[in-house]
Amino acid sequence: MTQFPQSFPGTRMRRLRQAPWARSLVAEHVLTPADLVWAVFVHDGEGRIPVASLPGVDRLSVAEAALAAKRARALGIPAIALFPYIGPEGKDDEGSGALSPDGLVPRALKAMKDAAPEVGLITDVALDAYTSHGHDGLLDEDGTIPNDATVERLVEQALVHVGAGADVVAPSDMMDGRIGAIRYAFEEEGFTNAMILAYAAKYASGFYGPYREAIGSAAALKGDKKTYQQDPANSDEALREVALDLADGADMVMVKPGLPYLDIVHRVSTTFGVPTLAYQVSGEYAQIMAAAQNGWIDGDRVMMETLMSFKRAGAAGVITYFAERAAEKLG
């Protein structure tokens, strides 16, 4: 056996890093536009309206949303996640606007499907954009969120969405039992192929602030959401949530937020072996954009690095406001 000097490294890890072709050849994970879901806000008006806390993100009219669907198709982005901005005039205590077949989301769905039928459309099932109190469900006089009464409303909302063309409904409310109730309703109403992406592990996070501004719920929110969203201290609990949602008929599951919860993404994907998505939420996006605008980081480089981190953790896909920009870089 050859005897090397004490200082001689038998293995030089840097050999495979010395050229771009070598790094590409041995890369353990690959990020493509097909890994991205484009998070898009829609509003009931004309044109595009910038979201101040999300530089580079606009609320889109229905017509602009249809153009975004065509843009996603051209870039190879497989799906768009749709979130509505509802002004104060469209809110009430019951969130009744969420149930209208002629509402903003159904009209946007129809326009986007007509424009680019190949692009998957994912809708948010929750009442927070429509309620005057800003909660994801109904609100009792004592300040509690009634679980079962809220689930009934969410089932109605989900049926409206699939009836208008949604391919996937994504209940983000964190009410107990809502996945099973929606799945049962879909089967009863003949929507057997409608998919459910469960926000299975959604944490009560401080990273949602810019999103709440974007959908118009920030000023309305009374109190917090800690009685129904998960405690950031818990990880085993997330596995229980995922197991319940899968047993109730979820096709895919999601972890939200993303970067602060990569450990949860990894545990979920490895434990269950099911399609696991991560949501790179508004606060994560805003931090990167703010630092880039101040010249403190290379924004594009950090964008791509963070998206790759989700793949490395085991995510099958990432919902992100960076989707269009990242797909352009990857193209």
* pLDDT tens sequence across 292-306: 999 999 999 999 999
Contact in structure between 59 and 41 (CB atoms under 8 Å): yes
Residue 228 near residue 175 (C-beta atoms within 8 A): yes
- Interval 261-291: pLDDT, tens: 999 999 999 999 999 999 999 999 999 999 9
Question: Pairing mode, if any, of strands 58-60 and 79-85?
Answer: unpaired
Residue 137 lies in a domain: yes
Is residue 157 a part of any domain in this protein?
A: yes
Residues spanned by the domain of 258 = 29-330
257: preceding bond cis by omega (within 30 degrees): yes
| Residue 92: DSSP 8-state | B
Residue 319 included in any domain: yes
Q: How confident is the prediction for the chain on average, in pLDDT?
A: 96
* Rounded-to-integer distance, Cα 239 and Cα 267, Å: 8
- Per-residue tokens: 270: 């490895």
pLDDT score of 220 more than 90: no
Binned at pLDDT 50, 70 and 90, residue 4 comes out as low
Which DSSP string corresponds to 206-218? Answer: GGGHHHHHHHT-T
> Quick one: what percent of the chain has pLDDT higher than 90?
94
pLDDT score of 6 more than 90: no
- What kind and span of H or E run contains 59? strand 58-60
The answer to the question of residue 4 being in a domain is no
Please state the residue numbers annotated as binding site: 241
pLDDT above 90 (res 221): no
pLDDT tens track for 226-274:
999 999 999 999 999 999 999 999 999 999 999 999 999 999 999 999 9
Question: What is the count of structural domains for the chain?
Answer: 1
Share of the chain above pLDDT 70, in %: 98
Average pLDDT estimate for 164-183? 98
Q: CA distances (Å), 85 to each of 51, 162, 247, 275, in order?
A: 11, 19, 32, 28
Q: What is the 3-state secondary structure (H, E, C) of 153-186?
A: HHHHHHHHHHHHCCCEEEECCCCCCHHHHHHHHH
- Residue 14 belongs to some domain of the structure: no
Q: What is residue 119's DSSP assignment?
A: S
Helix and strand totals (H; E) in the chain: 11, 10
Is 309 within the bounds of a domain? Answer: yes
- Name the one residue in this structure whose structure tokens are 């899968």: 246
In this structure, what CATH number is given to the domain that contains residue 285? 3.20.20.70
Annotated catalytic residues are 202, 256
